[in-house]
Chains A and B, each alone.
Chain A
Amino acid sequence: MSTEELMQATVGALMGIFGAPDDPEVAEAADDTLAALHEALAG
């Protein structure tokens, strides 16, 4: 994913947690997305 896509995915992942705060898979995927965005921005 591009950095722009990762940004969109990060916001989407945060909203996904609000809808399913106790789902461990949602949590893990969201935190992986944030880590990927960090890597992309660190370039």
Chain B
Amino acid sequence: MFYLAGLADEPQKGVPGVTSTVSRTEIPALDAIRAYTQAENPSAFLTLNAGTATFTSPGVPGAVAYRRAGNYLVQFGGVFAPPEDYDRLLAAFTDFARSQDCKVVSVQLQRHDAEIYARHGFTVNQIGASWAVSLPEFTLRGTRFMQLRNKISRAFRNGLVVEEVDATHYAGSITEIDRAWLGAKGDGAHQLEFLVGEIGGDGQPYRRLFVGSIEDKPVGYISYSPVYGTRHGWMHDLSRRIPETSPGLMEAINSVAIEQFRAEGVPWLHFGFTPFTGLDATQELPGFNRGYQWLMHALFAQGGDLYPAQSQLAYKQKWAPTLVIPEYIAFPDRASLHAFAHVFRACGAF
């Protein structure tokens, strides 16, 4: 089983310890995802993950993020480039893959990307969806959120204290929480990468971290990463907790973060991508593969050992998301189970 997580802006004013030591010219992927937001990819910040490579082409603005797995270059998101250069950079990337004797498979494409890829002859299918909450009108009042409010109250009654902190001062606690979290998943469990948020690295000055503690001991955290574009805000990215500390722990941490974001006037809280969820036949593009479409439904219904999509979705739906954003996978030729499996391989799932 593997675990995905999932994203803001400049380092924010008033965030303790967050200072920018990274200039724009040092991270080409960051330049690209901030400048070229036409696809509105809420997970774009994942391009900065350690171990994810950035492809650029001389004289062509923009960037492509990818990871090699077997003989595939697994591309994350679409091409982050100006509209007039999108096709050129995509072609340069596919040429580059050929030069490496690799095939391309592209994942977490947004609708904007998916339509371009389909025009270029890719077979494109929906693979899942991202979920987002509009914050200005968000409230936990009302019967709809009664259970959620009760869980949150219970966590605070158990002594939970939530605060926004500087990740660099909590490295030891984060390691301890991660170890306990992973240990509870069983012997074969290991942390996933690539399509999963992370703490540290080049992107850390741009993220925000909320930690929950009981009796001064950190017991859980949620990391939020920046989302750019018209639906800008933060993405509920990486979340971990020490098992069996208190019910409602993550919900309580998120509720504090939401109140902070609302106070700052942040318009969107994104919950990120969950594969096999939000599947909608009306969102498929011409030329989609019906077998692959069936497989996504089957994996949602019965693929919990491969990915716990239902439990991930259940957590996101607690917050009554206002927006479901379809996400796509693209194959350069016919739809391919082999390519699909290599998305998992790029994540370190096997």
Contacts and interface: CB of A to CB of B under 8 A. Distances in A.
B340 A14 contact: yes
A31 B342 CA distance: 13
Contacts of B253: none
A22 B71 CA distance: 8
A18 B341 contact: yes
Nearest to B342: A21
Interface of B (DSSP majority class):
helix
Interface in A1-43: 6-7, 10-11, 13-14, 17-18, 21-22, 26-27, 30-31, 33-38, 40-42
B298 A42 contact: no
Contact of B295 (A10, A22, A26, A36): A10
Contact of A38 (B70, B298, B335): B335
Interface string B117-139: 00000000000000000000000
Nearest to B334: A35
B289 A14 contact: no
A37 B290 contact: yes
A21 B289 CA distance: 22
B338 interface: yes
Contact of A7 (B294, B336, B341): B294
Contact of A10 (B71, B334, B337, B350): B337
A38 B341 contact: no
Interface residues of B, number: 21
A18 B337 CA distance: 10
Contacts of A42: 290
A35 to B, nearest CB: 6
Given A7-B298, A22-B70, A30 B338 contact: yes
Q: Which of B290, B291, B341, B344 has the most CB of A within 10 A?
A: B291
Given A34-B291, A38-B289, A17 B335 contact: no
Contacts of A21: 70, 338, 341-342, 345, 350
A41 B341 contact: no
Contacts of A31: 334-338
B96 interface: no
B336 A34 contact: yes
Contacts of A6: 291
Interface of B: 70-71, 289-295, 298, 334-338, 340-342, 344-345, 350
Given A18-B341, A37-B294, 20 more contacts: A10-B295, A14-B295, A14-B340, A17-B337, A17-B338, A21-B342, A21-B345, A22-B70, A30-B337, A31-B335, A34-B292, A34-B295, A34-B334, A35-B335, A36-B291, A37-B290, A38-B292, A41-B291, A41-B293, A41-B294
Interface of A: 6-7, 10-11, 13-14, 17-18, 21-22, 26-27, 30-31, 33-38, 40-42
